[in-house]
A and B are shown apart, each in its own frame.
Chain A
Amino acid sequence: MLKIEHVFKTFNTGTVNEKKALTDLNLELQDGDFATIIGSNGAGKSTMFNAIAGSFYTDSGFIELDGEDITFTPEHTRSRYIGRLFQDPLMGTAPHMTIEENLSVAYLRASEHKRGLFSHVSKSERDKFREQLSLLDMGLENRMNHPVGLLSGGQRQALTLLMATMVTPKLLLLDEHTAALDPSTAAKVLDLTKKIIEENHISCLMVTHNMNQALELGNRTLMMNNGNIVFDVKGEERSHMTIKDLLDKFEENAGKALNNDRILLSTKEGV
């Protein structure tokens, strides 16, 4: 469903700060695939997501979504099919707008053709929002008129998750979306994520620095280094892998040990 072919992206070309962020990146994702991604700091994970979502155009190579070439499709058009969550819970929502208004903006993705530019939120839409919010089990359905800026980080991230998936996207990009939350909130948001992905059969890419998550969640694990996917495992082979196997594989394929302090920390603690 997603196909990335020979994608290159260099930042600050021709200056001392030149950075080759993606070098000959290739990836093919099947319908319903849920792949976790781990890699060193600066490996290009976020940059890959930016390339898929269209935050910038790639220097060369092609990106296809559901058989359609989206290499030069503008970001706002792609986002109709691609849902996205960032690490910072403050990024996905508008703080001075109410929960209802935020959901209404997110709902545009579905209804741009059905709904006029000058229409207001209808009663049936409001009911739908309330019903969806109640699934988060955070009591947000009773606070629809509160500004989102008053919510906690976890509540905002859960809301963002809802906004990204309320209209089922073809692809969901999760960039360490629980990393900034406290452990219990993170677990809750992660459970919600699993539930929503399973129920709606959404194809998903999820960056994580937690090795357990990388192996347990989804059906496929990708390891990135230097703007490239250096290791890709799924199925039988993946189900037998331990964290140590994964670290060894990385060292074998990348020619160096995995350098990401947070990953190592999470490995030691076994969380």
Chain B
Amino acid sequence: MTGFLTAGIVRTALEVGLIYSLVALSLFISYSILNICDLSTDGCYTLGCAVGAIVTIAGHPFLAIPAAMLAGICSGYVTALLQTKFGVQSILAGIIVNTGLYTVNLAVMGFSSNVSIFGTDTIFSLFKNLNSSGFWKDWCNLILLAVIVAAVCLLIKWFLGTTLGLSIRATGDSPAMVRASSINPIFTITVGLCFSNALTGLAGCLIGQYNKTCDINLGTGMVTIALASLVIGETLLGRGKMIFRILGMVVGSCFYRFIISIALRLNVPTEAFKLVSAVIVAIAIAAPRAKQLIAFKHKQMTAMQERKSMRGDKANA
């Protein structure tokens, strides 16, 4: 086992999994809570990375975090505006924003398709310098990310219990009830999407500083990956208590990265990677339905057999 999956590989999978879990949490808010399929995720993730990278290169790795989140909020606001005020279907609104963001992201990166952060501090390098022990060098990234993700999880848990959070949940859970209560769905959808996209922006910022680079195609397929993590998380930890649902996103996301790591170790060629991801997603999302189908087939078989044996009894009698 240690030969197949070294500590380094496990650590990297966990680190990237934690960063990705922020995107899964973003989709948790838009997709699971608000019941809106927000397809601007790919572009918003890159936006967060680009803005974060530029601000980091300018020498402000900490400022990069709120800057990237703010960029995400702006992106979420536009998506929300299109679907609430202008009646654009939510999926279409996300696609439109996603397309527009490509140019915006290029512009943020100074019309170059790639920027790198080498030579300046990142939050990871600053954190690493706090201590010089070997243990710290190995684990500091994971510790920092775990702290950030834990804080975000607690924030979400707290937020969804507030008056505003409950209104947002009601908006996604029962449109008719919201219509009959004094909640303004335009407001709750807008706040929800801004919050969700702030998390995507944060994830983009972290991955940029983590990899010390930002590429214009970084976000491609991100929404699929996050969706897969979300479904895996819901399958593993269920749909019960809110805190477990939130933690499920983190678990699902790390689990997903493990599968990818194993695939890498099995020398699945990188060209096949997108297909592998898509297959994992398809299986993850199709699993509950497949389970139902198998259960039904089983029921059908037993019922038919019972009937046969009953007929047999009659014939014997």
Q: Interface residues, chain A, CB within 8 Å of chain B?
A: 53, 55, 74-77, 79-80, 83-86, 88, 91-97, 101-102, 104-106, 108-109, 112, 115-121, 163-164
Q: How far is the CA of A99 from the CA of B171 in the complex (A)?
A: 16
Within 8 A of A (CB), among B159-204: 159, 161-164, 166-167, 169-170, 173-174, 176-185
CA distance A83 to B293 in the complex (A): 43
Q: Are A108 and B174 in contact (CB under 8 A)?
A: no
Is B163 within 8 A of A108, CB to CB? Answer: yes
Main secondary structure of the interface of A (DSSP, over half): loop
**Given contact pairs A97-B173, A102-B170, a sample of 6 additional A-B residue pairs in the complex whose CB atoms are under 8 Å apart:** A53-B179, A91-B177, A96-B169, A97-B170, A105-B170, A108-B183
What residues of A have a CB within 8 angstroms of the CB of B166 in the complex?
97, 101, 104-105
Is the Cβ of B179 less than 8 Å from the Cβ of A117? Answer: no
Q: CB within 8 Å of A: which residues of B?
A: 159, 161-164, 166-167, 169-170, 173-174, 176-185, 239
Q: How many A-B residue pairs have CB under 8 A?
A: 86
**Contact with A75, one of B159, B173, B179, B239 (Cβ below 8 angstroms):** B179
| Given known A79-B179, A79-B180, contact A94–B163 (CB-CB < 8 A) | no
Asked if A77 and B163 sit within 8 Å, CB to CB, the answer is no
Q: A117–B162 contact, CB under 8 A?
A: yes
Q: List 5 A-B contacts (CB under 8 A).
A: A55-B179, A93-B177, A94-B177, A102-B170, A120-B161
Q: Which of the residues A77, A88, A93 comes within 8 Å of B182, measured between beta carbons?
A: A77
Using CB atoms, name the residue of chain B closest to A163.
B181
Q: CB distance A118 to B180 under 8 Å? A: no
Max chain B C-beta neighbours (<10 A), residue from A85, A112, A118: A118
Knowing A94-B169, A96-B173, A101-B169, say if A119 contacts B162 (CB, 8 Å): yes
User: Nearest B residue to A74 by beta-carbon distance?
Assistant: B184
Residues of A contacting B177 with CB < 8 Å? 91-94, 102, 105
